[in-house]
Chains A and B, each alone.
Chain A
Amino acid sequence: MIADILRFEIKKRFTHWSILLLYALLIFQGVWYTIGEYGRNVNEGLLMNAPSLFYKNLAAGGLLMMIIVAVITGPVLYREIRHQTGQWLFTQPIAEKAFLLSRFLAAYLINALVALGYVLGMALLPYFGVGEAHRFGAIPWGQLLHGYFFILLPNLLLLTSLVFVALVYTRKITASYLAVIITVILFLLMYGAAGTGSISPVLQLADPFSYIAVDHTIDLMPVELRNTGYLPFSGYLLYNRLLWLAISAGLIFLTYRKFSFQSFLQPKGKKGKGENLDATATQTVRLASSPPKVKRSFRSIDFIKKLWSLSVLELKNVVRIPSFKVIIALVIIMNLMQNLLWNASVYLGPTHALTTVMTNFRMTFGVFVIILLMVWAGELFFKDRSAKFWQIADALPIPVWTVALSRFIAISLVALMIVLTFMLTGIVVQVMKGETALIDFSLYAYDLLGYNWGWLTYVLQIALVFFIAGLTRNRILTHIIACGIFILTIMAFDLGLMEQAIYGYAVVPGMEDWSEINGYGMWISAAGWYFGMWALLALAFVLAGIWMWQRGSQKKWSSVFSVKNRQLAWGGKLALVLALLGFAFVRMHITEEVNGKGNFTASDQEDLERAAYEKQYAHLKNIFQPQYQHLDLILDFYPNERSANYRASIQLQNDTITGTDTLYLNWPEFTTVEELKLQDQRLVASWNDEEHNITAYAIPFSHQKEALLELTLTARKTYDGYTQGGQNAQADLLFNGSFGSLKDFLFTIGYDEGKELTENRIREDYGLPKLSSRMASIEEEKAFRQDRLAPDAVWGSGSLLLSTTLPQKMIAPGTLVNNWTEGGRRFTQYEMADPRSFNWFVGSAHYEKEVANTQGTSLDIYYDAKHAFNIDVYKKAGQQSIAFIRDNLGGRLPDELRLYEIPYYQHSFYSFPNAMAISEKEGWYALSDALPEKAYLYQSLAAQLIKQWLYGEMRIANVQGADMLAVALPEALALLFLKQELGEESTEIILQKKQENYAKQTNNAANQEPPLLFADGTDYLEINKGAIALYRAIADVGQKRFTQILHAFLQDKKGNPCDFRSFYNRLRPHLSKETSRLFENA
Chain B
Amino acid sequence: MLLEIKNLSKTYPNEVKALQNISLKIGKGMFGLLGQNGAGKSTLMRTIATLQEADSGGVTFNGIDVFTQPQEIRKVLGYLPQEFGVYPNVSAEELLLHIANLKGIGSKAERRESVAALLHKVNLYPVRKKRLDSYSGGMKQRFGIAQALLGHPQLIIVDEPTAGLDPMERNRFYNLLSELGENTVVILSTHIVEDVSTLCNNMAVIGNGRLLLQGQPDEVVRALNGRVYEAPIDKAALPAYQAKYNIISQRFFMGRMMITVLADDRPGYEFSLKSPTLEDAYFQLLSNQQKAVAV
Contact = CB atoms under 8 A, between A and B. Distances in A.
Interface of A: 267-270, 273-275, 277-278, 280-283, 285-286, 288-298, 302, 306, 309-310, 313, 317, 320-321, 383, 387-389, 391-399, 403, 551-553, 555-556, 559
B51 A395 contact: yes
B263 interface: no
B78 to A, nearest CB: 9
B130 A394 contact: no
B87 A553 contact: no
9 contacts: A275-B136, A280-B126, A294-B105, A294-B111, A302-B106, A317-B89, A317-B90, A397-B71, A398-B102
Contact of B125 (A285, A309, A559): A285
B279 interface: no
A270 B105 CA distance: 32
Contact of A388 (B85, B121, B131): B85
Secondary structure at the A interface, as helix, strand, loop or mixed, is: loop
B277 interface: no
A290 B120 contact: no
Interface stretch (B144-152, B194-202, B266-274): B144-152
Contact of A278 (B71, B101, B139, B179): B139
A277 B103 contact: no
Contacts of B98: 310, 313
Nearest to A317: B89
A392 B144 contact: yes
Contacts of A280: 123-124, 126-127, 139
Nearest to A271: B134
Interface in B111-134: 111, 113-114, 117-118, 120-121, 123-127, 130-131, 133-134
Please provide the 5 A-B residue pairs with the shortest distance between their CB atoms, ordered closest to farther: A388-B85, A269-B134, A288-B120, A552-B51, A397-B74
A293 B152 contact: yes
Contact of B103 (A397, A551, A555): A397
Given A291-B117, A310-B101, A396-B74, A296 B106 contact: yes
Contacts of A278: 135-136, 138-139
B86 interface: yes
B104 A296 contact: yes
A397 B75 contact: yes
Nearest to A285: B123
Given A268-B133, A396-B102, A559-B53, A291 B152 contact: yes
B192 to A, nearest CB: 19
A268 B121 contact: no
B219 interface: no
Contact of A396 (B99, B111, B169): B99
Nearest to A277: B127
B51 A391 contact: yes
Contact of A274 (B86, B111, B123, B135): B135
B99 A292 contact: no
B264 interface: no
Interface centre among B80, B87, B168 (most CB of A within 10 A): B87
A551 to B, nearest CB: 8
A296 B136 contact: no
Contacts of B102: 306, 310, 393, 396-398, 403
B75 A296 contact: yes
A87 to B, nearest CB: 13
B166 A277 contact: no
Nearest to B74: A397
B83 interface: yes
A387 B135 contact: no
B110 interface: yes
A296 B88 CA distance: 28
Name which of A389, A397, A555 has the most chain B CB atoms within 10 A of its CB: A397
A292 B114 contact: yes
Contacts of B52: 552-553
Contact of A387 (B86, B106, B148): B86
Interface string B160-175: 0000001011000000
Contact of B114 (A291, A302, A395): A291
Contacts of A393: 102
A295 B131 CA distance: 28
B77 interface: yes
Nearest to B76: A397
A761 to B, nearest CB: 55
B79 interface: yes
A277 B110 contact: no
Interface centre among A286, A291, A383 (most CB of B within 10 A): A291
A283 B148 CA distance: 23
Contact of B149 (A269, A291, A313): A291
A956 to B, nearest CB: 72
Residue of B50, B106, B139, B147 with most partner-chain A CB within 10 A: B106
A281 B51 contact: no
Given A273-B130, A280-B126, A285 B74 contact: no
Contact of B49 (A270, A273, A391): A391
B6 interface: no
B209 interface: no
